[in-house]
Structure 1
Amino acid sequence: MTWLRALVEVVRSGLTIERTRLEPLVALRVAAGLAVVIGLSLWLSSPASAVSAAFGAFSAGAATFQRSWRPRKVLALATGAGLALSTFLGYLAAAHLVAFLLLLAVWAFFAGMAWAASPTAGIVASTTVGIMLVTVTLPTSIGQALEHAAVIAFGGVVQATLILLFPIRRWGAHRDALADALAAVADYARRLRHDPMAPFNPEPMMTARDAAAVTPLQARRRPAALHGPRGLAERIRPVLASLADPRVGAPAEGPERDRVWELLAATAEVLDAAARSIRRGAPAQVPALDLEALRGGGGDEVLKGPARVAAAWLVDLLGEVMETAESGDTHAGHAPAPGKPGASTLLRPTMLRMVPVVLRAMRRELVRESPVLRHAVRLAVVASLGYLVGTALPLGHGYWVPITSVMVLRPDFHQTYARAVARFAGTLVGVGLATGVVQLVGPGPELSGGLAVCSAALLYLLMHTGYAVSQSFVAAYVVFLLGMAGEEWHQTVRDRVLLTLLGGALAMLAYMVFPAWETPRLLDRLADWLVASGRYAAAVVAAYADPADRHRAEVRRSLLASRAAEAAWDEAFDRAKREPVKHRGLSRSAAEDAREALKSLGRAAMLLEAHLPERGARPVPDAERFAEAVRADTAQAAREVRQRRTPSWDRVEEALAAWDSAEDSPAPVVRRGAELLLRALKELTTAIDTSPLEREVASVRQDRQARANREEEEAQGEQDGVSARPPREVS
């Protein structure tokens, strides 16, 4: 993509307004917490103290809208504590410019490194940098600094208290994640009716698994309906694929295919009913016709061979789903005993125990090419440089320059530039509207505080509709808040617009000078996905050689690793498509073809997973050799991909040939699956063998050569014709 096209896409994305589900009650509760904090501060203290308290309550409330599976009250308390600490430390160093710049750079660096833990941690950490820049201008003594820090922390406490006293849809996000996973499998069943080899997007399953990880306290209070359906959906997915795929399931036409269509339609209805039940916490209601269609699945005489086995498994799994959904059970379940072997609950560390986990994640990102490390360096430099520039300018509120830069910067190009455009556009709109209100009304401190609360309420309500929309209300909120502290509105408008523009430009320039492009790293991402997919395929095939529970555990671990690698590839490829950078070694079309090949590899492994043998089943000795070949060849191929060389699959082909020559070759399903795995690997070789440009050049050369050959043949033919022509008679 050229720079011009990339910038056009940036502007379009930054100004896009999205339609999303609103949460008016949650927004009202958070705005009420902000109103309580501002009102108490104005009553008990001063407008300056009310401004600090408002920053704490505002940021703590905004943190509760971030994507996180932790309780919202925990997010509010953690954000309030972080804001209070950054405020106090900022004041301690504010008297000395060098000391403050050093503190600011270090704090911003670690805030950038917080993205190694999660995007939510990175966003909240960036907020603490912004509050450090704002509040250092308020206190005049250590005692007042402690007071302001306590007031900011109090804002987080108030938000957490309101969440505790007025809970709204408990476990709602967890219910939605699990319901979305079931609905995704239902949609997959419908698509399989029209396309027996339709792809499956694992993102809803990954989200549901993230939501299933809970702290020990959450595990004791979690509704029982959120315990088991996710695992059932994971087991249903490969069974559906095996049943629909004509290569290992029912034939493409005939009575068996008609029966498969009927089962897939009934499965979709059952899973949708279960999803509605979990989302609403009410018993499921499945149409009688769909239940009737499933009753013959366990002993269906129409289906034969592997398709009949898959149908029986499908009916059993759907029966377990319905047992949970029909009960509508919303009571708290029982957490497994701590340390109990085989406990199925996914435990999430508490906030305190997350500290060493986050530190280890940061340590892994301390490599030169890490996007997180580069983001942290950019953030530290921009925060310090922006503070110096803002301080040197003959304008008030110079801290808006670094605040804008810090809040705009993201680890990738597109988000950084799109947020810069959206922030400036939103600031213009918000400041303009707030200025008009101030001119017409001329509010005092109390009314300004009320208008600030109204602006914040609209921000919370429309936060997920687009960054430009949210920033317009943020700008209005700041105008009213500073008006409450006695600032002149005309000075606020001028400073806010100019310094926001300067801060956004500084953030974009920083990314241009020190980028973290994803395009050159696509080959590494592809190699990681290839290794993970190879391990998953090898684990599935090895389970046929030695049917045992330990192989099932290895299959599950390798599947999760493969999904994580696929998600990393998809994210990197989406970023690369929006970057104004030419490909290096892997073109866009070649990347698409490679993606489809690895998708086929994963699908072939998934088909084999659907028919994993039970414990004590007859082993397939040839499967072990094939699994080792897949594991070795994919590891070697990953190294070749990183070195921009074409991979080969000699070991896999030899293992499959040896399998063919074996006298006794049981389990035709795994044998057919092995062929599909090899075919997918060869498709990958074809995809990355040559780039489209090289293919086009080769095609042009072939056309030229063919044309030259034809011309040579025609010339030779004409010469032969002349020599064979009889002499003309002479009269």
Structure 2
Amino acid sequence: MQTGGQAADALRLSTPDAGAVARSLIGTLALSVLALYGVSPTAAMWTLGAGVIAGAIALQRSPGGRVPLVATASVELAIVVLLAVLSGSYDVVFVIVVALWCFAAGMQWSLGANAGLVASAASALLVIAPVTAPTLADILLSPLLVLAAGLVQAALISVRPPRRWRAQREGLTRAYRSLAADARSVAADCAADVDDAPMTWLREVFANSQVSQQPRAYHGGYRLPERLAATLVSFRSTAGGDRRDGVPQLLSAAAVLLDAIADHSHTARRDAEHALVRVDATAAAVTGAETTRAQRFSEQLREAAVLRFGQLHRPDLIGSLASAPAVVRSHLTWTSPILRHAIRLAVTTAVAAAAARYGTLGHGYWMALTVVVVLRPETAHTYTRCAGRMAGLAVGIVVASALTVFWQPGPMASVICATVFVGVAYGVIRFGYLAVVVAIGAVMVFVVGVGGFTDWAGIFDRLVGVLVGGGLAVMAHVLLPDHSLIRLRQRAGELLMTEIDYAAMVVTAFVHEVDHPAEALSTAWQRAFRARAAFEAAWGAARLDSPTLRRWLRSYRTALNAVTSACTTLENSLPTHPSSALDAEFIAAVDDYIEALRGSPPSPAVPWSLDTVELSAALRRVHDLASTLATDNGAARILVGELTTITGSLADIAIDRVEPVAPSR
């Protein structure tokens, strides 16, 4: 998602399709060659870096809304390159620009992790600005070429999406069209059948690709259509009866929405927005015994629309950008972790840039570049990750320098070498972010080499620059740590999130066939165990003697232990064939509970939270359907009992956890 090591954590999320990577690299290579022979090596350096960043954004984002994201990031990259071109030859001005931009980049984490990562990547392009005075062509054309490199990536991903996404998109399209046809049939005839063949085929499409390599919006994407189908089947007994209950009208409106979700024309989003309004209205008008089921169906349809289009009825891109300053201003408080990260990043990068400009260390830009790579608003394992990124960069530098000991490539050869190592970075994603940092370190050696303003010798200077920059980053965390109560609140949220992920995995294994369940459950538990250790370390470091906080800690531990105990009970009672003894509608209700249990994704700016109202409503639906199962169904009774325990414990945490941990102003 970015040129610096900040890209590492983003890139490790999923392995892109090889064809999409190849197209992205070819587009980056073509624009870089154009910049090299049409403008200057420095322009080619920035164009290459921007193409890599934009390509990573396009390849790693969820299937919806990639083009606006890449286009917006390209504009930001062009602005940063313009600042670099104008200030690079004036040392004092350059240091000031680096400080101001890095402060702004740090504050962008308040808009979300993706915005923060892109801003950090842009900072990497800024700190490698050469000392030499730019030509008029550099000033005028470098930002334009950077913008063009990003827009080319947006065009490539729009015209030719990755193959894996295409196959899954086709499967989802077929499933939603089939559901739309079934909804119309059931609305007209209560005895109509619901075709399950598209659902079976959809499950096979998703099963044939690695789960860890799917975009978030496609993760387990076959389950939502299956839940919709199960709810649709449950309407069969009433849809063709008394039309005054509103069920046929709801199913007709649902069919229109499902058709819009399956559509890929430019009007699909607008049609879905209108259809969703009608679905909500008809669901609210359903009366009698079908009211609860209608509301559940409406929520599932909304979830399907959000997965397909993103949040509906949201402001457009201009409106979102206009609201960003207000969000940033809300974090201009001393206890905000975002503000403290921005100060750490600005001061440390400015010090590193000044040391590079006024010191005698060769390749001094590696100090500031390492700061950009290492510093993030992290709340757990900060120093371990800093050390890991530093080591990764050092290994990458050694690998790249080993290639240039006897062969010193020119600008064109450097472009090719950098492009090859970007491909390597995509290839090693599956091995974790440290492997990606190694590749990114080698990429940066050749990206700077494209500019031609430094010699290839000096591996020792590069390594010293990494060591000094990493040391400055660690020192910044030591001198300006996050507020102790804020850090404790964040660690508490991380622990709660990992504990819930473990619970969700256990519940999923209870009602669905899971590949290698023992391994999956063990991995989830290990994450929760590490998060608990980090939380206890944060509590010990805070040294808080408040009786209120101590009472909160006891209740927090008690609730989490209850969740763990419930999960252990479920894990010890896992059925051999989960779905054989459970009704399809009951399984769909449990899937709804799992979705409510997982909550919203975490953000550096906002502690992780859980909507207990939604979770309690999902539990009630599970209870209602459990009452219709056979009385001798022991597995269902165990599941419902432990879900009740989990929900009650999480509700206690949600009630008690905010006030005791809230920072004092």
**Aligned position for 1:225:** 176
Alignment of 1:581 with 2:575, yes or no, is no
Partner SS state of residue 365, structure 1: coil
Identify unmatched segments of 5+ residues in structure 2.
1-7, 184-195, 207-217, 239-249, 281-304, 306-311, 497-527, 564-609, 625-640, 661-665
Contact 2:14-2:60 within 8 A present in 1 as well: no
Distance 1:570 1:339 in 2: 46
Alignment partner, residue 407 of structure 1:
373
**Equivalent residue runs for 1:195-210 within 5 Å:** none
Q: 1:677 to 1:473 in 2, by over 3 A?
A: closer
8 Å CA contact retained: 2:88, 2:129: no
Aligned to 2:422: 456
Residue by residue, what CA displacement relative to the aligned partner does 1:74-117 show, whole Å, maximum 9, x if unpaired? Answer: 33332222122112224434455444333322221221111111
User: Residues 37 and 524 (structure 1 numbering): CA distance in 2 closer, same or farther, change over 3 Å?
Assistant: closer
Q: 1:356 to 1:599 in 2, by over 3 A?
A: closer
Q: 2:147 aligns with which of 142, 153, 157?
A: 153
1:64 aligned counterpart, secondary structure:
helix
Query: How far apart are 1:271 and its partner, in Å?
Result: 7.7
* Contact 2:39–2:141 under 8 Å retained in 1: no
* Closer, same or farther: CA 469–138 of 1 in aligned 2, 3 Å: farther
Query: Which stretches in structure 1 are left out of the alignment for 5+ residues?
Result: 1-13, 180-221, 233-267, 300-316, 531-568, 613-671, 692-731
SS of equivalent residue, structure 2 residue 270: coil
Residues 48-447 of structure 1: matches in 2 within 5 Å?
48-67=42-61, 71-94=65-88, 96-135=90-129, 137-141=131-135, 143-169=137-163, 225=176, 329=262, 332=265, 333=268, 335-336=270-271, 342=277, 346-414=312-380, 416-447=382-413
In 2, distance between residues paired with 1:119 and 1:109? 16
Q: What SS class does the counterpart of residue 317 from structure 2 fall into?
A: coil
Please list the CA deviations of residues 305-352 of structure 1 after superposition, one character each: whole Å capped at 9, or x if unmatched.
Answer: xxxxxxxxxxxx999999999999565546248789936761343332
Quick one: percent identity of the two aligned structures? 26
Matched, 1:512 2:471: no
Q: 1:583 to 1:30 in 2, by over 3 A?
A: farther
Bigger Cα Rg: 1
Report how far residue 503 of structure 1 moved.
Answer: 1.1
In 2, the alpha carbon distance for the partners of 1:328 and 1:357 equals 28
Matched to 1:429, the amino acid is V
Shift of 1:510: 0.6
Task: Provide the residue aligned with 1:469 in structure 2.
Answer: 435
Q: TM-score with structure 2 length normalisation?
A: 0.58
In structure 2, C-alpha distance between the alignment counterparts of 1:274 and 1:94, rounded to whole Å: 54
Q: Indicate if the aligned counterparts of 1:451 and 1:480 stay in contact, CA closer than 8 A.
A: yes
CA contact (8 A) 2:400 2:442 kept: yes
In 2, Cα distance between equivalents of 1:467 and 1:679: 37
SS in 1 for 2:316: coil
Q: Which residue among 17, 25, 37 is the counterpart of 1:23? A: 17
**Does the Cα contact within 8 Å between 1:456 and 1:473 map onto a contact in 2?**
yes
Question: What amino acid does structure 2 have at the position aligned with 1:342?
Answer: V
Structure 1 position 591 matched with structure 2 position 556: yes
Matched to 2:556, the amino acid is A
Alpha-carbon shift at residue 515 of structure 1 (Å): 1.1
Check whether the contact 1:35–1:450 (CA below 8 A) recurs between aligned residues: yes
Q: 1:377 to 1:476 in 2, by over 3 A?
A: same
Q: CA deviation at 1:511?
A: 1.1
Q: CA deviation at 1:358?
A: 1.4
> Which residue does 1:3 correspond to in 2?
none
Cα deviation, residue 683, structure 1 = 6.6
Deviates most, 144-153 or 97-106 = 97-106
What is the CA distance between 1:504 and its match in structure 2?
1.3
Contact 1:87–1:145 (CA<8 Å) still a contact in 2?
A: no
Distance in structure 2 (CA, Å) of the matches to 1:281 and 1:605? 22
Secondary structure of 2:404's match?
helix
Name the CA shift for 1:94/1:502 in 2 (closer, same or farther; >3 Å): same
Cα distance, 1:474 vs structure 2: 1.7
CA distance in 1, matches of 2:408, 2:41: 17
User: What SS is found at the alignment partner of 1:395?
Assistant: coil
Aligned CA distance change for structure 1 residues 101 and 479 (closer, same or farther; 3 Å): closer
| Root mean square deviation of aligned Cα | 5.6
Conservation of the 8 A alpha-carbon contact between 1:112 and 1:372: yes
2:32 corresponds to which of 22, 38, 62:
38
- In structure 2, the CA distance between the partners of 1:271 and 1:518, relative to structure 1 (3 Å rule), is farther
Return closer, same or farther for 1:296/1:481 CA change in 2, 3 Å cut-off. closer
How far the C-alpha of 1:514 sits from its partner, in A, is 0.9
How far apart, in 2, do the equivalents of 1:55 and 1:433 lie? Answer: 19
Shift of 1:443: 3.6
Counterpart among 602, 607, 626 of residue 619 in structure 2: 607
Do the aligned residues in 2 keep the contact of 1:412 with 1:517 (CA within 8 Å)?
no
Between stretches 141-150 and 31-40, larger displacement belongs to 141-150
The aligned length equals 480
In structure 2, relative to structure 1, the CA distance for the partners of 1:331 and 1:493 (3 Å cut) is: same
- Equivalent of residue 494 in structure 1, options 440, 460, 484: 460
Q: 2-side partners of 1:101 and 1:124: how far apart? A: 21
- Partner of 1:135: helix, strand, or coil? coil
8 Å Cα contact 2:257-2:271 kept in structure 1: no
Pairwise CA distance, 1:369? 1.1
Deviation at 1:424, TM superposition (A): 2.0
3-state SS of the aligned residue for 1:411? coil
Contact 1:365–1:372 (CA<8 Å) still a contact in 2? yes
For 1:106 and 1:46, the matched residues in 2 are separated by 27
Q: Distance in 2 between matches of 1:388 and 1:281?
A: 49
1:385 is displaced (CA, Å) by: 1.5
Q: 1:387–1:21: structure 2 CA closer, same or farther, 3 Å change rule?
A: closer
Partner deviation per Cα, 1:190-237 (whole Å, 9 max, x = no partner): xxxxxxxxxxxxxxxxxxxxxxxxxxxxxxxx99939999xx9xxxxx
1:459 aligned counterpart, secondary structure:
helix
Cα distance in 2, alignment partners of residues 501 and 168 from structure 1: 38
Shift of 1:517: 5.0
- Distance in structure 1 (CA, Å) of the matches to 2:444 and 2:234: 63
Any conservation in 1 of the 2:12–2:436 contact (CA below 8 Å)?
Answer: no
